[in-house]
Amino acid sequence: MSAKKFLASVICLLLVFVAGTRAGAARGGAVSSVSDGAHASAEQRRAIRRRASKRMSKQTKERRAGEDVWGGDHVRLMLRDGGGALEFDCARGEIVESLKTDAQGDFDLPGTFTRGSHGPIRVGLAPAARPARYVGRVEGRTMTFRVKLTDTNQETEAFTLTRGSEGRLWKCR
């Protein structure tokens, strides 16, 4: 190898090292030596992941109730963007809007409610979905709500759910 090529290679390596050191210092860390560079970059990568994790946690807190499960005795609610699906002991329901609460934690959401039946369902006689409103309140990790059937003005008992719980159902037989 000629002296010119060798000198050009050394200069290139030196420039890459200096650029890496400046980039590390710009992110909040400094590389002290060549042997310390690998260790420092691993620490920098961990710091970047921690900051990203904190940003994610903050975003998660700020979003609406979003894609999760709430459960209690006789009911399970699977929320998703744009609504949710409810499963009761002998019925099912659908919420057709995203769960949004007011400043006090109250909500009133449109949806449907379909009663189930004992035993097999005859062909052509499947239960029809009825219009309903899901009215309740969210306080921390606890939600309480009632189902109000809008076509008959009937109202169910209050259900209490806990966020992250699958609930406990006693299915019709």
Residue 24: what pLDDT? 55
Q: Are residues 100 and 52 in the same domain?
A: no
| Dist CA 81 CA 100 (whole Å) | 11
Q: Are residues 56 and 32 in the same domain?
A: yes
Name the strand (E) or helix (H) holding 112.
strand 106-115
Does some domain include residue 14?
Answer: yes
Residue 7: what pLDDT? 72
Select from 12, 38, 62 the last residue of a domain.
62
Q: Are residues 73 and 11 in the same domain?
A: no
**Burial tier of 146 (Cβ tally within 10 Å: 0-12, 13-18, 19+):** middle
Q: Are strands 106-115 and 91-95 parallel, antiparallel or unpaired?
A: antiparallel
Answer for the pair 37, 29: CB distance below 8 angstroms, yes or no: no
Q: Are residues 125 and 148 in the same domain?
A: yes
Does some domain include residue 171?
Answer: no
| Dist CA 46 CA 76 (whole Å) | 38
Which residues, including other chains, have CB under 8 Å from residue 30's CB and lie 6 or more apart?
21, 24, 40
Q: Are residues 102 and 132 in the same domain?
A: yes
Give 9-57 pLDDT, tens digit per residue: 777 776 776 666 665 555 554 444 444 445 567 788 777 777 765 554 4
Answer for the pair 167, 71: CB distance below 8 angstroms, yes or no: yes
Count of domains in the chain? Answer: 2
Q: Using 50, 70 and 90 to split pLDDT, how confident is the model at 171?
A: confident
Q: Are residues 119 and 76 in the same domain?
A: yes
Residue 27: what pLDDT? 52
The more confidently predicted of residues 32 and 92 is 92
**Domain containing 116: what range?**
69-163
pTM of the model: 0.59
